[in-house]
Structure 1
């Protein structure tokens, strides 16, 4: 494959997008070019919210590139992963003509964004094996080829099932679909996994893209800061498709603070705690007589099948524990997804299910 732009909608390849006041690159001390209020709001609190934010703040751009070990030109900052998923579908899929490949059960936003763009959804279900869930990458490649897919979404670790897609499989899909589709690897839970990021494969595969987020391991779900890592040509297209001012200034400040060395050290300690607790809760749940199966996971959650899922769900709610009900998903009619909390949170969960003492 010579140019990832060949996979972009033809009508968007030269699309310049909206030329917002902040994209002009002008500098000065008296700002009269954006019809902003010259005074901060009385409720501003020193945040300077009367001014529009930079669409792609340079300082945060540099910090995210360093965090994910990629060149800055490969980074697009987005409002969480959700916006990046939507931008990819809109930029790559022609409405009513192109398709995306999904491997359910998986993150629901892939299908939502495809439907909003009127892109066909081709499903290659995961396989429930004795060792856990598995992806048939050969079936994914064949379905993408036969169905005219422009995007293949691979969630790794997968939400809600917890398994990773092997790097060899990711690279095989990128090679096989080089002239047809962009392979998007969603690594929202990548910090909790043992496998290295697929971002290291980007220089070899222009049709590969990786989604990352500060929502999970970095504890900034409310700030809505994500990143798409991809070929620079694709990044430039998506910047032109994106909203003029997608990143609120307070969110950018929070993200910059979260990426300082001392904060990153604490984040790494918390990740280690989550992984240890994941193993403890997995063992405890697996031993419960009311649990059909607890799946191994490389995310910060566990997918659990119950003999009586409704009873388990009600017992947890009665104890004040809210988990994700997965029973509406095909093939998961007896399943709940349980996020890993603090030690005390997890003790409360296990006690409610009869697997331990309530915390003091």
Structure 2
């Protein structure tokens, strides 16, 4: 069975929209896309008059080299959000097929399932001494019993913080071969030690990996995300994608942000974040207002507080905005704190120290 058998029957022969930039034509005077003959007065570089390349080849090749795959295995989209949406729409028949995810976790898996009217299956993460961990056996069992077409594994998990060992990911992929595509969301992988699930593509066609430039590469506003999967599935997703997903200025910025010199600077910043992660975790664990600080492989810490509202307000009063997680399953007393600069992290600690009981 091929991964293409997991695609909706009505989309397997779907040609999609053929844009003016889809045809590989050469010429000097371009009059095929009803574009303006003049640049906008505010466009000093005259870079936005023409529709952009739907999949800019230079960026595609640069990302493929960064992530260890071929360009044919990679689709560029508007952040990981678009990749999630495309996968759910392309694979799940509304009202029939299911999407499985592991709360507490990134909310877009559930949102995309809801918008597609896909059945939502939840296998909660287990709150253990080691942190929030995935119940691999339960994931496999529920996926098989619930007709899951997509299984989302967030590694490192957001907001839990822990990676799923690659061997466990492979166990899920192998067990669901022929039934489901296992999507490993590696948005925070640069901050972790666990090998990427991209390596599994050499043996399995029912695995996909999501990556983004929004986190470690500091290009959140550029909205550059990728889906890495079997080349045939990438072609299907491309046909389901809107015609011009990557604005030319964003593509140019991403290429500059992935230059050798930029990558060297990014690696140094990642090292700083990892060091601050350890420092802040130890310091927070010593605060009387903190119940528990979870281990993290990402660029944030999930923290339980004695009084989460008081902690949230103390941080706001200090000008520090953190993510309130109290509405998420199992996290009624938790806040998620992104790791900032050393000075910003000191500001977090100073604010929370005010909640210490009087001596």
| 1:51 Cα deviation from its structure 2 partner | 0.4
| 1:48 Cα deviation from its structure 2 partner | 1.8
Mapped pair 1:88 → 2:72: no
| Post-superposition CA distance 1:87-143 (Å, at most 9, x none) | 000000000110010100000000000000000110000000111111111100100
Verify the 8 A CA contact 1:132 1:296 in the aligned structure 2.
yes
Aligned to 1:212: 211
Aligned to 1:257: 256
Distance in 2, Cα, partners of 1:172 & 1:331: 26
Q: Matches of residues 73-152 of structure 1 in structure 2 within 5 Å?
A: 73-152=72-151
Mapped pair 1:185 → 2:180: no
| 1:355 Cα deviation from its structure 2 partner | 8.0
| Post-superposition CA distance 1:13-66 (Å, at most 9, x none) | 111100000001111111000000011000011142110000000100110000
Verify the 8 A CA contact 1:284 1:355 in the aligned structure 2.
no
Q: Secondary structure at the match of 2:220?
A: coil
Q: Unaligned regions of 5+ residues in structure 1, if any?
A: none
Distance in 1, Cα, partners of 2:192 & 2:348: 23
Q: Unaligned regions of 5+ residues in structure 2, if any?
A: none
Distance in 1, Cα, partners of 2:62 & 2:209: 17
| Post-superposition CA distance 1:159-213 (Å, at most 9, x none) | 0010111111110111111110000000000000011111111111100000000
Which segments of structure 1 move beyond 4 Å, counting only runs of 4 or more? none
Using the size of structure 2 for normalisation, the TM-score is 0.98
Aligned to 1:171: 170
Verify the 8 A CA contact 2:47 2:249 in the aligned structure 1.
no
Q: Would the alpha carbon gap of residues 174 and 127 (structure 1) be closer, same or farther in structure 2, given more than 3 Å must change? A: same
Q: Secondary structure at the match of 2:22?
A: helix
Mapped pair 1:291 → 2:295: no
Tell me the number of residue pairs that the alignment of Structure 1 and Structure 2 aligns. Answer: 355
Verify the 8 A CA contact 1:21 1:33 in the aligned structure 2.
yes
Aligned to 1:233: 232
Using the size of structure 1 for normalisation, the TM-score is 0.98
Distance in 2, Cα, partners of 1:256 & 1:131: 38
Q: Matches of residues 7-26 of structure 1 in structure 2 within 5 Å?
A: 7-26=6-25
Q: CA RMSD in A?
A: 1.0
